[in-house]
Amino acid sequence: MAEQRPGQIPGNLIFTIKQTSDQRFMRENGYDLRTATQIPLKEALLGFDRSMAHLDGHQVRLVKQPGEVCQPFEVMKIPGEGMPHKVEGGGHSDYGDLYVKMNVKFPESLTDAQREAIDKLFPAEETQ
């Protein structure tokens, strides 16, 4: 109950909420979020199971199974990890999706031994 008093006109309580921006995330289509993360080439080729911090600090799991290769700039969709919005007719909130662009970090240079090992793993391919 509010601080109402007999003979007094009750007033309104007004809140002003300012949304602060976060450089890691961009809002898209109202409820979806976009962000990017960097992964090493080894994880892009062999798979990974890693977490990243969301806006509120909870961890979002990003997974590529062994045998699934993550392409440079591939975008992973994580359903339900976007911004909340009300479902029509009231009730509980629904959430948009989170889209994570995978920036694959390539090495600056390779040793002779590394080049030879890669050459053995990947035989010459014809390009078109």
Q: Which tens digits make up the pLDDT trace of 63-101?
A: 999 999 999 999 999 999 999 887 777 766 789 999 999
User: Phi then psi for 48, rounded to 5 degrees?
Assistant: -160, 160
Work out how many domains the chain is built from and give that number.
Answer: 1
In a domain? residue 92: yes
HSE-CB at 62 with a 13 A cutoff on CA atoms is 24
- The span from the CA of 61 to the CA of 81, in Å, is 10
Strands (E), 29-92: 32-40, 48-53, 59-64, 75-78, 84-86
In a domain, 112, yes or no: no
Domain presence at residue 102:
yes
The secondary structure of residue 30, as a DSSP letter, is T
Most confident among 7-21, 87-101, 106-120 (mean pLDDT): 106-120
Position 127 in a domain = no
Nearest to 99 by CA among 114, 84, 79: 79
| Residue 35 C-alpha from the chain's centroid | 5
Within 10 angstroms of residue 68's Cβ, the number of other Cβ atoms is 12
Q: Show the domain range for 37.
A: 26-107
Q: Which residues contact 7 (CB under 8 A, 6 or more apart)?
A: none
CATH number at residue 96: 2.60.260.20
For 34-66, write each residue's pLDDT tens digit.
999 999 999 999 999 999 999 989 999 999 999
